[in-house]
Structure formats: C-alpha cells, structure tokens
Structure 1
Amino acid sequence: MVPERLLVPVEQSVTFRRTVGYAVESALESEGAVELHFVAAVSTDEETPTGRRTIEDAEELLDRVRTWVDEDGDGSVAVETAVIGTDRYLFSPTDYADAFADYAEQNGIDRLLIDPEYHPGATAPMLRPLEHRLEAYGLDYEEAPVERQTRRSRLVTAGGASRFVTLFLVSFGFYLVLGDPTYPFDLATGAVSGLIVALTLDHVTFTRPPRAVRSSMRVVRFFLYVPYLLFEIVKSNLQVAAVILRPSLPIEPRMTRVRVTTPSGLPLTSLANSITLTPGTLTVRADDQDLIVHALIPATREGLFDGGLERAVRFVFYGRSAMSIASPEERGDTEILGGEES
C-alpha cells in the first residue's frame, strides 16, 4: 500500500516546533501510513560563501526536525528531508510555491501542511499569497492549528531608570522636532506623549539599560552621520534623475546580496533603512547579516558595494576605529542575483 505523503515547508519561527509536532500527531492518528516530507527552501547559489552558509543553516534546521520527529513519533513515523530552491532565486510567494509544487510533483505529493508563521526571511508574512498560488496548482493545503506561546508581563519591567529616562527624552525630543518647542501646548503634549511611550515600551526597546557616556557619544556621532546621509541621498537623487532625463544612460535593475559586518539589531536596522532612504536602492530583506537589496542603476550598486554607508553606521554605534574595515566588494561579500553578471 502506497503511503500518503505530506509536504511540510519549514523555517525558523515561533510556531516551528509546534507545527512539526502537529504533523507527527496527524501522521500517528491517520488510519493509513503517512510519510512526512520536511523541506527547507533557500534562495542561494551553492558555489558562493553566503550560499554555502545558507544551505548549512537549512541542513541544521532539518536535522532538528528529524530529532523532533523521532522524539514525538517514537521512531514509527517515516520522514524525508530536503533542501530545495538552490537551483533558482526565491523571492516572492509565487517563487516559493513553484518550488513546493515541483517537489510535490517529483515525489507524488498532493497535500501540504503550512506553519501559520511561515515567511522565510521576508519582511512581511507571505502565507496568504502563498496559499493562493498553491490553489492555482491544485494542491491541497492545511494551516497547522497551532498558536504562539505568550507570556504575561508587567506593563513596565525593571529596566532601570536610565532606560526609562532615555526613552522618554528620545520620544519627547522627537515630538518637539515635529512640533514647535517654543509653544507651551506642544511642550505639554510632548511630555505626556513621551511619558506614555516610556511607560508602555520601556520593556521592548533597549536590550540593556543604556550607559550615559556611551549613549551621549552615539547621539553626537549620529548628528555627524545625518549630513553624510543627506549628502548620499542628494547624490543618488542626482544620479537617478540623470538616468531619467537621459534615456541613453544605463538602467540595470538587479537584486543584490551584501553580507555586512554590522551586527544585527539596531545597527543592522539603521543600515538597512539608510540604504532604503537612498534613491536607487531598496532593502527588501535582512536575514541575519545578509542584506538583499534592489539596485536600480550601476552607480547605486557600486556605491552599495563600496560600503560607505556601512562604515558610517559602524562609526555611529562603535566609534571611529570601527570604520577601518574593507569594503564588501574587497571582502568578497557581494553577489548579483540574476542577470548576465550573476
């Protein structure tokens, strides 16, 4: 008797473990034999350093899946794992659905189980458009009925006075920048707004209480960074405008991958947003230290590979000594995805 085969795409998420457990439970409760196929879809080139890292991460993820299946199913559930997508560039829900459909066709699978939080590396959930594409292929799918774990906490955690005061001052200052600091009404409403923000968001802002000296120096360096960022914005504006006004100039839209040396968290977020603010480049994904950036013209792509913004952001958070690094191009941490140059 041919066993029923169930395809389960996996990616690290808050409901990942529960989805695997539900798949095993469904297989055990089924009247017939069920073979579980867990796949990790990666968008990469195996021949590049970043590609090899991505594939290794996917394989480690699938190793964990096998361990969990053995634990939950007592070794009685048949399981297959595979890394897919290495032969193509995956970006949109359509791309992922195509990869799943190809694997399903090759392995005689007609049903999928999807993690409700499945959105591999994307900046927004992709479950709904992914399901619509699967419907077009005639594939049955089920969203795993699992919920994320929640923890109840106090409104304000014991983060310390420095964190609370810093958040209040930042919020109050930003409010006054948008308003009129000489107007009493704006001063009063700004203080109230800053207090509300500090009370409600104190426990989700800083990972640790900020140090006064270090934080003040970062503020100073940030004000030095703003003119540089404005200069880059104006320069890129002129480059893009020149291409628009002179059609003979090249327009080469390309998706690029850049592995940066900026740590994750606020520094990486600042760099990704700075790249997006610069005309001609758009950060579409931030995966650990790998940024996927759309570059419109060669000049903006070359500026991205030169690493000027990366060095500037490192200066803001870590000081002048952190700027002494090779550019992404010199480090070999750049890649053009798609096109003749890939």
Structure 2
Amino acid sequence: MSDASPRILVPAGESMTFRNTVAYAVREARSVAEETGEQATVHFVYPARWQLIDQEERSAARAQELLDRARVWAETDLDYDEDGEPDEDVPVRIETAVIGQDRYLFSPGDFADVLLEYAHGKGLDRVIVDPEYQPGGNAPMLRPFEAELTQSDLDVEEAPVERRTRRGRLIGRASLSKAAVTFGATYGFYLLVGGTLAPFDLLTGALTAALATVFFSRVAFVESPTLRETPVRLARACLYMPYLLWEIAKSNLSVAYLILHPSLPIDPAMRRFRAAVSGDLPVTTLANSITLTPGTLTVDVGREGLLIHSLDAGSREGLEDGALERAVRFLFYGRAAARIPSPAERGSITADDAESGETAD
C-alpha cells in the first residue's frame, strides 16, 4: 500500500511549468486514491502578495484567473483516463483559495507559514511544489521556501516536471519593457552622476546600462512596466520626492534640537510596524524612506512587518500618524489608496517582543 497521501496542497503561481505541475498533482491524487480507497482532494492556493487593506483589484483578479485556470486544467485531466474514456470511479475534489490576504508576506517563512496553516486547517498531508514557483515574485527563493516547508510534518516534494529551457534570445518580447526601463534608468542615472555629456561618458554610460540590462532586467521588476502605468507612477514620484525631502528636512531640525538641547531628551525604542504596503518595491521604498528620515531607522523586515528604531517620542508619533506610509501608498497605488486609517488607528505599531521581554525583566 502506498504511503503517499491523496490530500494534496499545490501553491499556485505563474510559471512555464505550472500546467505540468497541475497535471502531476491530480494524477498523483487519483493514483493514490485508487490504491488506498481514500477520498482524494487537491487544493490550489495562491498566497497573496498584497494586503487586504490594499484591495488591489488587478492583482486579486489575476490571482483568481490563475486559480480558475488551474481548476479547469485539473478537471480536464480528471475527466478522462489513460484510454481517453471518462473516469468517475475515484473522484478527486478540486478546491481553490487565495490565502494570506490579511498577513504581511515578505520572506520565504511568511509564505510557508500561511500555506502550512491552510494545510493543517484543511487536513492536507502533502505539498507538491512547482519547480519554477517563486512565492516572492521574481525573487529566486524556491529552495529557502521549500526548506521552510520541510521543517513541518507535511510531505513536501517538487513536481518532477521538465523545465523548459530558457536559452535563446537574450531578451524576449515579454521582458522588452523591463529591459527598456532598466537601460533608460541606468543610463540616465549614470549621466546624472557624471554631470557631463562628453563622448566618453556617453559611451561608458551606454555600456554600463547595457550590462545592467543584461544581468538585472529580468529580476528588477516583479511585473513588466506598461505604457499606461509607468508615466502615471513617474508623475506621482515627482510629487513624492519633494515631499520626502521636506520630511527629511523637518526631521533633521528635530534631531538637531535633540542634540543641541542641554539635557539631550532622547527616548530610543524599537517598534514593529505592520505597514499597509506589500510587494518588493513598495516595501523597499517605505523602509528606505523611513531610514532616510533622521530619527527613525528601519532595522529589519520580518514576518510581522518592519522593525524600526526611533530616537524619541516625536519620531514614533510621526510613524503612528502614517503620513509617510500614505505617501508611499499614493506613489504605488494611487490617490484612493492613500485615504486609509493611520497606523495608530489600525493598531499596526507595537513594541518589539524582544524589547518588551527585556523591560519586563
């Protein structure tokens, strides 16, 4: 009798091997169920990389579309046996779900946690992972992600499907916009720093931008830039940069006051900030903006959000007010996304657990 389980969880994500992974998962579920007589079920789940508060309709719709495709593929594969005849002797139930919408998913452990919680809640014993599944977008973290899963009591395996070769054209049509934006941004920055348009700088800048495009264009963006969204986001960035500079100037004055005050009225503390942004670029922008603002420093990005060191109570009040967070949300999500409750109203800033423990002792 087989030791494998017909109760299978499959993390869903866009890849060239996902279709084959779906076929393998339902084939395994049916095979084990036929052998053991157990009820077979395959759950395709999409760990959301946005937060519930964001309500990003396009991302949610794309996730649901992928899950719908997985269901159609699975039901198509199950309708017929190897001889092409209908097979209804051992039904396999197919379920789909979007999970982690109310969580801050950033590291491999975050994705593993929500998957494991779902699996335990649904009584699933086995996880089949697409060999090209990237839970964090384009970030190549499949191995750390699998390592997190294998620490659980579930049977975790990588689907034995053939990876399609990625050789051929250096830049395909799908990544052309990424290449163009990477080249343009790198070239422009190089010339800006150089401060001259001499032929030597133009040549070396083009060479540097070309190398950056070759090596980094495919990993620089989670999604390909579009002509519709990129100009709008650049326009918002033109508003965001002066605002950030203004916040930096105000914070500099506040820190200067603390330093020059005879009693040096500082009150350093560590806080966990569960920001209402998600995704590599928005989180990085917010974390770096907080660090650039004197008085606050982003120490780490963990499973519960940003770990921030603040110099005094005034700096913490600024975080609780959420002005910088709203500005970052405006930059990436638009004006409507900036109209949200403040972090203080949401209760998303808390004392760091380690600091609380030390204080209690």
State if a TM-score over 0.5 links the two structures.
Answer: yes
Instruction: Name the CA distance, whole Å, in 2 between partners of 1:189 and 1:87.
Output: 45
**How far apart are residue 257 of structure 1 and its match?**
1.7
Instruction: Name the CA distance, whole Å, in 1 between partners of 2:166 and 2:186.
Output: 27
Q: Secondary structure of the residue that 1:257 maps to in structure 2? A: coil
- TM-score, normalised to structure 2, is 0.57
The correspondence for 2:23, drawn from 21, 24, 27, is 21
Q: Are the aligned partners of 2:131 and 2:161 in contact in 1 as well (CA < 8 Å)?
A: yes
Q: Give ranges in structure 2 of 5+ residues lacking alignment.
A: 80-86, 309-315, 352-361
Instruction: Name the CA distance, whole Å, in 1 between partners of 2:139 and 2:210.
Output: 30
- The answer as to 2:44 corresponding to 1:32 is no
Aligned-partner residue type, residue 152 of structure 2:
Y
Instruction: Name the CA distance, whole Å, in 2 between partners of 1:339 and 1:97.
Output: 24
Q: Secondary structure of the residue that 2:43 maps to in structure 1? A: strand
- The answer as to 2:130 corresponding to 1:129 is no
Q: Are the aligned partners of 1:43 and 1:90 in contact in 2 as well (CA < 8 Å)?
A: no
Aligned match of 1:248: 267
Instruction: Name the CA distance, whole Å, in 1 between partners of 2:185 and 2:151.
Output: 49
1:227-306 maps to which residues of 2 (within 5 A)? 227-235=242-250, 248=267, 251-258=270-277, 269=281, 274-278=285-289, 279=291, 280=296, 294=306, 296=308, 297-304=316-323
1:1-342 maps to which residues of 2 (within 5 A)? 4-14=5-15, 15-30=17-32, 32-33=35-36, 35-40=40-45, 42=47, 50=55, 62-74=67-79, 76=88, 77-81=91-95, 83=97, 89=103, 91=105, 92-105=107-120, 109-121=124-136, 124-146=139-161, 171-179=186-194, 181=196, 185-193=200-208, 207=226, 226-235=241-250, 248=267, 251-258=270-277, 269=281, 274-278=285-289, 279=291, 280=296, 294=306, 296=308, 297-304=316-323, 307-309=326-328, 325=335, 328-329=338-339
Aligned-partner residue type, residue 271 of structure 2:
E
- Aligned CA distance change for structure 1 residues 177 and 121 (closer, same or farther; 3 Å): same
Q: Are the aligned partners of 2:14 and 2:133 in contact in 1 as well (CA < 8 Å)?
A: yes
- Aligned CA distance change for structure 1 residues 4 and 197 (closer, same or farther; 3 Å): closer
Instruction: Name the CA distance, whole Å, in 2 between partners of 1:37 and 1:28.
Output: 10
- Aligned CA distance change for structure 1 residues 44 and 238 (closer, same or farther; 3 Å): farther
Give per-residue Cα distances to partners, 1:181-218, cap 9 Å, x unaligned: 277643442354457778999999864599xxx89xx6
The structure whose RCO (Cα within 8 Å, separation 6+) is larger is 2
Q: Are the aligned partners of 1:46 and 1:52 in contact in 2 as well (CA < 8 Å)?
A: no
- Aligned CA distance change for structure 1 residues 83 and 338 (closer, same or farther; 3 Å): farther
**How far apart are residue 129 of structure 1 and its match?**
2.8
Aligned-partner residue type, residue 93 of structure 2:
V
Give per-residue Cα distances to partners, 1:144-167, cap 9 Å, x unaligned: 133565677756789xxxx99998
- Aligned CA distance change for structure 1 residues 196 and 303 (closer, same or farther; 3 Å): same
Aligned match of 1:288: none
Aligned-partner residue type, residue 150 of structure 2:
E
- Aligned CA distance change for structure 1 residues 138 and 170 (closer, same or farther; 3 Å): closer
Q: Are the aligned partners of 1:6 and 1:36 in contact in 2 as well (CA < 8 Å)?
A: yes
Q: Are the aligned partners of 2:112 and 2:145 in contact in 1 as well (CA < 8 Å)?
A: yes
Aligned match of 2:312: none
Give identity over the alignment, percent.
Answer: 31
Q: Secondary structure of the residue that 1:70 maps to in structure 2? A: helix
Q: Give ranges in structure 1 of 5+ residues lacking alignment.
A: 286-291, 315-321
RMSD: 5.8
**How far apart are residue 101 of structure 1 and its match?**
4.1
Q: Are the aligned partners of 2:129 and 2:158 in contact in 1 as well (CA < 8 Å)?
A: yes
Larger displacement relative to structure 2 (326-335 or 11-20): 326-335
**How far apart are residue 114 of structure 1 and its match?**
1.2
**How far apart are residue 70 of structure 1 and its match?**
1.2
